[in-house]
Amino acid sequence: MRSIFIPFLTLLTFNVLMAQEHAHNHGRKIEFPDVPGYHTLKCDFHIHTVFSDGNVWPTIRVEEAVKDGLDAISLTEHIEYQPHKQDIPHPDRNRSYEIVKDLANVYDLMIIHGTEITRDMPPGHSNAIFIKDVNAIKVDDPVEAFREAKRQGAFIFWNHPNWIRQVPDGKAKLTDLHRQLIREKLLDGIEVVNDITYSQEALQIALDNQLTVMGTSDIHGLVDWQFQIPQGGHRPITLVLTEERTPESLREGLEAHRTIAYFNDLLAGYQEPLEMLLKSCLVVGKATYEGASSVVEVQLSNEGDAPLILQNKSPFSFHAHADLVTIPPHDSIKLEVKTGQQLRDFELTFAVLNAVYAPDKHPLLSWNVVVTP
């Protein structure tokens, strides 16, 4: 046994190192900068495997997350819906988590224990994460299921409130039961982004009811296929601003609403954390005039994974661009600003059109640009 076991561990270590190296080099890793005082953690808290209605083994979900450069995931199997149970009988609803929980240390990935409370509307489907035992949440009364999850210390969010199978017009709306859950502090967040959909109505519900903005993949098949990763796509995720890289700090960031949903190059969240992230993504570099010209050349860099689509709101026009400027991810441009006269410093102001802090409301950000003599 000893001669077999040692090579197995060696092979496991080798595979882990190769996976981490591959994740660093192959270009699919999602990357956003930290912001002052906070880490920017990349999280997906709505994921399925064969232990509910997904199509892959739990370890595949961990490997996909490592490839995407995520910091935290939760395998959230349906409690009430188990279509594979003839092939994979599993009376213990914690099984998928138990299979992967020890990989958290191997891959430096936080794996948060979670589940999906799966009911007809209302209240529809909701995810409970940071739980202890899924089996105890399997009760008939939906409100009691929420209460039991809360007794376990759960953070609970409403899944795909715009799902047309339950909401035919695709518009998220509160029901009396959801209002009850909010009043009883049994509902903490809402998915503004789920899979391939974005709901501005859900964003407004979050703002009106002080719910955390969530973005998730709700992946059932392969991440690569569903989100066209080889073609440059990305899985939808929640960016959480945390003081530390720990589950406890992650939970605190969720409860404090320091989240941004990232979906198809769109960034959506509460205004303050959204603006903090955007300010860290857009870096204003060196600014210089050429000779006696009053056209100043400014270097603008984007350190995030989403392109920055900027609309000029400054008092100055540009020499080589219209009022719309796009900075690709992890790239830079040279912006020529017509200031009318040579200035020691000036202000650049942009609306970020692919970011929203409320329906149709875009962050307006300003930078003081100091000119290099």
Residue-range domain boundaries for the chain? 2-269, 281-370
Residue 13 has pLDDT above 60, yes or no: no
Rama region for 135: left / alpha / beta (φ>0; ψ in -120 to 50; rest): alpha
At 17 the pLDDT is 44
Confidence of residue 268 (pLDDT cuts 50, 70, 90): very high
When comparing pLDDT for 11 and 242, which is higher? 242
Mean of per-residue pLDDT scores for the chain: 92
The full length of the chain comes to: 373
At 23 the pLDDT is 39
Confidence of residue 211 (pLDDT cuts 50, 70, 90): very high
CA distances from 206 to 147, 159, 167, 213, 268 (A): 21, 13, 18, 6, 11
d(CA 339, CA 336): 9
Residue 22 has pLDDT above 60, yes or no: no
At 16 the pLDDT is 40
pLDDT, average across residues 267-293: 97
Q: What is the dihedral of CA 301, 306, 311, 313, to 10 degrees?
A: -60
3-state secondary structure string, 58-98? HHHHHHHHHHCCCCEEEECCECCCCCCCCCCCCCCCCHHHH
At 27 the pLDDT is 73
At 293 the pLDDT is 96
Strand stretches in 113-258, DSSP E: 114-118, 125-129, 155-158, 189-194, 197-198, 212-216, 237-242
- Of the chain, the percentage scoring pLDDT greater than 90 comes to 89
Helix, strand or coil, per DSSP, at residue 143: helix
Report which of 258, 219, 213 is spatially closest to residue 235, judged by C-alpha positions.
219
Confidence of residue 104 (pLDDT cuts 50, 70, 90): confident
Do 351 and 362 contact (CB within 8 A), yes or no? yes
Residue 91 has pLDDT above 70, yes or no: yes
pLDDT, average across residues 85-94: 90
Confidence of residue 89 (pLDDT cuts 50, 70, 90): confident
pLDDT, average across residues 233-242: 97
At 14 the pLDDT is 39
Domain 281-370, CATH 2.60.40 — does that match? yes
Residue 10 has pLDDT above 80, yes or no: no
Residue 309 has pLDDT above 50, yes or no: yes
271 burial level (CB within 10 Å; 0-12, 13-18, 19+): middle
Residue 332 has pLDDT above 80, yes or no: yes
- Residue 289's contacts (CB-CB under 8 Å, 6 or more residues apart) are 295, 296, 297, 342, 371
Residue 305 has pLDDT above 80, yes or no: yes
Rg of the Cα trace of the chain? 23
Q: Which of 27-31, 142-146, 241-245 has the lowest mean pLDDT?
A: 27-31
User: Domain 2-269 sits in which CATH superfamily?
Assistant: Metal-dependent hydrolases (3.20.20.140)
Residue 12 has pLDDT above 50, yes or no: no
End-to-end CA distance of the chain: 72
When comparing pLDDT for 7 and 309, which is higher? 309
pLDDT, average across residues 143-153: 98
Helix, strand or coil, per DSSP, at residue 19: helix
At 105 the pLDDT is 86
Q: Which of 12-21, 166-175, 229-238, 316-325 has the lowest mean pLDDT?
A: 12-21
pLDDT, average across residues 340-354: 97
